[in-house]
Copies of this chain bind each other. A is one copy, B any other.
């Protein structure tokens, strides 16, 4: 009997991973070249810039990072004096993180670059494709939920 074949190039998990990896790699050049940030550091900066003040746990949830990544990213941004920690008054295990002026400046510099990157990508697609990518990513996320 013929062995059943899997075509890797069109296998969804592979396809998706390769695309995301390529996009992420391309985008990472921006924050790497600009500020020497790693992806966890960029996400941390981004999360705090967006929300203002967050705990490490909240950061991990928002940006889908393991707590060790968060811990290390926060440590590095603190070393740069891009963020400060404020102990919670009621629960002494918790720290509230917030960007300093320098951190906020870096964030404000990055935001337009990030939007421009995303814009350039979307610009090269038709309007229908733009809708399709957003909605089908959501659909697939939903499909994965139940597994």
Is the beta-carbon distance between A6 and B111 smaller than 8 angstroms? yes
Tallying the copies of this chain within the complex gives 2
Please report whether the interface of chain A is mostly helix, strand, loop or mixed according to DSSP: helix
Is residue A129 contacting chain B, with contact meaning CB distance below 8 A? yes
Tell whether A136 pairs with B143 under 8 Å between CB atoms, given A8-B46, A43-B14: no
> Looking at chain A, what size class is its interface with the partner chain?
35 or more
Is the beta-carbon distance between B18 and A21 smaller than 8 angstroms? no
Cα A124 to Cα B139 with chains together (Å): 9
Chain A residues within CB distance 8 Å of chain B: 3-9, 11-24, 26-27, 43, 46-47, 49-50, 62-64, 104, 107-108, 110-112, 114-115, 117-118, 120-126, 129, 132-137, 139-144, 146-147
